[in-house]
Structures are given as C-alpha cells and as structure tokens.
Amino acid sequence: MKVIKQSVRTLLTLAAVVGLAACGEEEAKIIKVGATVGPHAQVVEAVAKEAKLHGLQVEVVEFSDFITPNAALADGSIDINSYQHVPFLNNFNESRNTNLVSVGQSILMRMGIYSSKVKSLAELPENARVAIPNDPTNGGRGLLLLEEAKLITLKQGVGHKAGITDIVDNPKNIEIIEVDAAQLPRTLDDVDAAAITMNYVMSSGLDPKEKGIFLEPKDAALAVMVIATKAENQDNPDYKKFVEIYQSQPIRDYLAKTFNGTIEPAF
C-alpha cells in the first residue's frame, strides 16, 4: 500500500511540474511582429523595448518587400504586422482571399509637394513643371495631392487610381512629369515642384519644414499606416496590449525625438 501511495504522490508531483512548465511556456509566448526594413521596423523595435517593460515579449521580423509581411501574417508565421495603409490591406485581402484586419493606427507617412524654387503653392508660376511618381498607385496618389492643393481637378470618383488623363481642370496649365519615385528628390533642381512619398524624403535627407510646401491631410487614407492581424485574432488581449503600447506617450515621444517631423503618430 505504501508503495502504491508513494507512486501516486510521485505521479502527482511530476504532473504538477509538467503543468508549471507548460504555464511558464505560455507566459513566455513571444509575439512576432512583422515590419518592412526602415522606419516601420525601427518604430516596432522601440515598441518592443517598451513592451518588455510591461511584461510583453515582442520579436521584430523584418521584411524587404510589401507582399511577404501580409502573406506571413495570413499563414501564421507572424502574429501582427505594421507597415501598410488600409487600401493596400484591402487590396491584399481581395487578391489573396484572406481576412486580415486593422486593429489600430500606427504612424503617418505623408506624401508632400516639395520645391527648391518656391516657398508656397501660390508662388508656383503658370506652366510650372511638377513631377509625380510614375507607378500607378503613387502616381494616382500624387495627382490626388495636387487636387487637394487645388492645383488641378480630377474626374469625380477616380480616387488613387487616377491618371493624367483624368485631369478635367488645370487652371495654371501645369506640366505634369512622371518620374521614378526614388528619383523624385533629385528632380527638384530641374522642376518647379515634385510630389514625393515620405520614405524617399527621408532617404534623401530632405527637410519637410524647409522644402515642403504642402502635405497630405493627416486623415488621408494613403497616409495613415495601420497595425494588422488576422480577423480571428483581433480580440487577443496580448495583441490589444501591443497596440496600446504602440499608441502610448513614450512612443509618441520617441517619434518626435527620432524623426524630427518626417514621421508623425497617427494616433
């Protein structure tokens, strides 16, 4: 009898040890957060450091393209990603039949009109030469920006799919030149102004306060970046905690100190 009791006690002890180990593994779960190389990954690294202070373990997974972070999120290789705007997310869902959702706003990556020749939109002369990106998405975005600046008028409803042929009014007879997006900062000596996305503003060292004459509105759909996850995981408490930490004052302070106005909080 004593042997049987001892065996039972031993089994119970082993079960307790295994149970504790399992709990420890659960508590040590790491949230994998995908971000594209550059500012997005840099900010998520700062969030990961802040999250550690709050007992949340975050591993930053960097990607060098714009498709793989969503593919990895969809197949479960990562838990969250932070690098895109809602129109891009929606387009991915439609083309890949996935169900990824935004769970919070992250940063603003605003396109702007920049110039080395004038200090304001009003100074742009008749027949001014204005460069925009030559790719479909950012080209349409550039045209929307020119419309927002009241330099042109586009056909109603074309949105970010707009092309030059969609211009219905051009009161200053602006000549619009399509240029590879990465080369736009270099065109500023040759054109009167250029519509440039913030990533190329940053990589070229342009100062938005010095050469920026108009920026996208802060609520522009293509300027607001979001944090995304699978729809089935959007209520995960750890993921909600990550978003809360991302949108906290320490991260707001980090953005202000690190990016000097080129990247702003969207929250």
**DSSP codes of every residue in 90-154:** HHHHHHHT--EEEEEEEEE---EEE-SS-SSGGGPPTT-EEEEESSHHHHHHHHHHHHHTTS-EE
- This prediction has a pTM of 0.76
Which of 190, 215, 240 is at the close of a domain? 215
Number of domains in the chain: 2
Domain extent, residue 46, equals: 29-108+223-265
Residues 46, 133, single domain; the answer is: no
With CA atoms as reference, report the closest residue to 65 among 92, 43, 27: 92
**What sign results for the dihedral spanned by CA atoms 266, 83, 51, 80?**
positive
Residues 126, 203, single domain; the answer is: yes
Q: What is the pLDDT of residues 167-226, one digit of tens each?
A: 999 999 999 999 998 899 999 999 999 999 998 898 888 988 899 999 998 888 889 999
- In this prediction, residue 65 carries a pLDDT of 87
Whole-Å CA distances, 130 to 90, 142, 225, 240: 30, 10, 26, 43
